[in-house]
Every structure is written in structure tokens, then in C-alpha cells.
């Protein structure tokens, strides 16, 4: 059992928790993820590590309440326990030799993008962060990004806060004005990462995208998290849990990944509604 040491609501749909898991806290690096189960009968879900405190032995996770399991997790109070917490899994974000980086985060993906931006900042790289949200109420981690970014641009889709538009708008502006980066790291909805990649392509800047496919064991056993890369015209199968979650974005078949992500939409909707009803009854 793993204790929820602290819990904080970042916005009405996004929660931050710090979980007591000393072995994971000692090892986890930005870009890696953990697998958790809320209770004895729960499903296994992957969540990217949003920070660690190795001395206290805690791991920070930030999650959006999108389905049954995240609703159950959110129903747990500070001081309560979750059943299982295993990690760190996946390969850490590649940072070697990067002097100037642009981190592009979208929605709850910013929770993963933030520790990546922090890590680059800590290593002395010049960090530009572009973070986008649907509206003002959903903005998270703005202060944290400001603290680790040399330049920060905040966007909202509906213009209710900061700049109006999506994250590709300022990215394109910068690139067209002659700005250049050693690397662009994008983390967020697949459709956003696809368009960030397309925006960067004419400028020949390397882009990595953090993939978050459906996973079960997360340890390189089931193969459910497979994604297709196109390498030299050939389709190559990779597994996000052991080969990723970061991949060269120019090689990713985003359309296929989006289609695979919708495999269980009906089931998930039903499970979420059932869980919400149960939680309401309390």
C-alpha cells in the first residue's frame, strides 16, 4: 500500500498527488512513468512522473479525471492509501547536448512537460515554454513553468486567458522569425503533437513527442502499447513502455495512434458513468 502524502486540486478536473514510494522516488527521471492500481480490483493505469522528492521518498503525479480509474483515484483523500504503485518505467527524456530547447505542452500534458522543462533548465539549457489550455479555468502550473523558462507563452483555445489560439501559432511565429532550437519537446494530446511536428518540419528542427498509449502491464510483456514508426519508408513496431514513451515525432504514425486510442471509447464511457454514480451515492 502506498500513502497519499499530499493532495492538491490544480483545477476542477486536474489533481496533483504526492505518493510515498521511496524506491521509485530515488530512481525516477523526467519523462518516465509509473503504473498504479487504486484498489484491489482496480485496473492498471500509467501516469507520467511529475516530480520526485528522493529525500522524503515521494513521487508527484498529476492526473486529469477522465475515466473510472482517475475518478476513483481522485476520490481518495490525503493520508489514504492506494493499492499498487510501480516504476519508474520507460526511458528518461533525452537531454544530452541540448543547449536550447522549446517545450510545447497541452492541457494535462503540461504536468509532464513541466518536469522536463525544469530538467533542461537545471542542466543550463535555454528554455522556451509554450503551454496551451482549452480555457482559463483549466490553466495549470503557470508559475512553475515561469520559474524554469527563459521565455513562456501561455495560450487558451477560446481566448479567455492570455493569448488566444493554439500552441502552434506562437511556435510558427518564432520559427518564421528565425528563432531556432536544438530540440522541440512536445507533450499533450496526439492531435496537438501532430500539428506541432508539422509546424516544425519545414525548419528541420528535431522534435520528440511523448506518447501515452493504452497500456496494461507497462513492463514490456503485453504489447498493447505498440505504436508504429515509419523509418526509411518502412513500418516499424515499437513499444511505448520499454522503447518510449519519447519518440522521434517525425517517424510517429499519429493517425494510427489516435485510432488505437479510441478502441475502448464506449466501454470507458460506461465505466466512468457507473463509477460517478457509485461515488455520488458515497
Partner 1 sequence: MAIIPKKNEMPTQEPKVRARNFNEVALGYTEEIALAEAQRCLNCKNRPCVEGCPVNVQIPDFIAKMKTGDFEGAYEVINATSSLPAVCGRVCPQEKQCESKCTLGIKFEPVGIGRLERFAADWHNSHATEKPKIPAPNGHKVAIVGSGPSGLTCAGDLAKKGYKVSVFEALHVAGGVLVYGIPEFRLPKAIVAKEVETLKALGVDIETNVIIGKTLTVDELFEAGYEAVFIGSGAGLPNFMNIPGESLKGVYSANEFLTRSNLMKAYLDDPVTPIMKGGKVAVVGGGNVAMDAARTALRLGADKVYVVYRRSMEELPARREEVEHAIEEGIDFRLLNNPVEILGYNNPENPRDPKNGFVTGIRCIKMELGEPDAGGRRRPVEIEGSEFDLDVDTVIMAIGTSPNPLIKSTTEGLEVNKRGGIIVNEEGLTTRANVYAGGDAVTGAATVISAMGAGKTAAAAIDKALMG
Q: Which residues would be at the binding site for partner 1 (CB under 8 A)?
A: 23-24, 27, 37, 41-44, 68-69, 83-89, 216-217, 219-224, 226, 228, 237, 239, 242, 253, 256, 259-260, 262-265, 267-268, 271, 274
Q: What span, in angstroms and rounded, lies between the C-alpha atoms of 236 and 254?
A: 14
Terminal alpha carbon distance of the chain: 22
CB of 28 to partner 1, least distance (A): 9
Q: Closest Cα to residue 127, out of 104, 155, 161?
A: 104
For partner 1, the closer CB: 44 or 163:
44
CB of 177 to partner 1, least distance (A): 34
CB of 120 to partner 1, least distance (A): 23
DSSP 3-state of 169:
helix
Radius of gyration of the chain (CA): 18
CB of 54 to partner 1, least distance (A): 13
For partner 1, the closer CB: 50 or 171:
50
Q: Closest Cα to residue 236, out of 218, 257, 251?
A: 251
Output DSSP code: residue 217. S
Q: Closest Cα to residue 69, out of 214, 242, 281?
A: 214
CB of 193 to partner 1, least distance (A): 18
For partner 1, the closer CB: 176 or 255:
255
For partner 1, the closer CB: 89 or 127:
89
Residue ranges of alpha helices (H) inside the chain are 22-27, 68-74, 110-122, 142-148, 168-176, 190-200, 240-243, 254-261, 265-281
For partner 1, the closer CB: 88 or 115:
88
Amino acid at each position: 500500500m502506498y500513502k497519499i502524502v499530499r493532495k492538491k486540486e490544480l483545477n476542477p478536473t486536474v489533481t496533483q498527488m504526492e505518493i510515498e514510494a521511496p524506491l521509485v522516488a530515488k530512481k525516477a527521471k523526467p519523462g518516465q512513468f509509473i503504473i498504479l492500481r487504486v484498489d484491489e480490483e482496480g485496473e492498471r493505469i500509467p501516469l507520467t512522473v511529475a516530480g520526485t522528492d528522493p529525500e522524503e521518498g515521494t513521487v508527484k503525479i498529476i492526473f486529469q479525471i477522465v475515466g473510472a480509474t482517475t475518478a476513483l483515484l481522485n476520490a481518495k483523500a490525503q493520508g489514504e492509501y492506494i493499492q499498487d504503485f510501480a516504476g519508474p518505467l520507460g526511458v528518461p527524456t533525452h537531454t544530452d547536448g541540448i543547449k536550447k530547447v522549446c517545450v510545447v505542452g497541452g492541457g494535462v500534458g503540461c504536468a509532464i512537460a513541466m518536469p522536463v522543462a525544469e530538467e533542461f533548465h537545471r542542466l543550463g539549457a535555454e528554455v522556451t515554454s509554450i503551454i496551451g489550455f482549452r480555457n482559463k479555468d483549466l490553466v495549470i502550473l503557470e508559475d512553475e513553468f515561469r520559474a524554469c523558462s527563459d521565455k513562456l507563452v501561455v495560450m487558451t483555445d477560446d481566448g479567455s486567458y492570455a493569448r488566444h489560439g493554439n500552441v502552434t501559432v506562437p511556435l510558427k511565429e518564432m520559427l518564421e522569425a528565425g528563432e531556432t532550437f536544438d530540440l522541440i519537446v512536445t507533450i499533450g494530446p496526439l492531435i496537438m503533437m501532430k500539428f506541432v511536428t508539422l509546424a516544425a518540419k519545414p525548419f528541420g528542427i528535431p522534435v520528440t513527442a511523448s506518447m501515452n498509449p493504452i497500456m496494461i502491464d507497462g513492463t514490456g510483456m503485453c504489447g498493447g502499447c505498440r505504436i508504429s514508426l515509419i523509418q526509411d519508408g518502412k513500418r516499424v513496431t515499437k513499444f511505448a513502455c520499454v522503447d518510449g514513451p519519447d519518440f522521434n515525432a517525425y517517424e510517429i504514425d499519429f493517425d494510427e495512434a489516435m485510432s488505437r486510442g479510441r478502441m475502448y471509447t464506449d466501454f470507458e464511457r460506461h465505466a466512468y458513468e457507473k463509477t460517478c454514480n457509485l461515488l455520488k451515492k458515497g
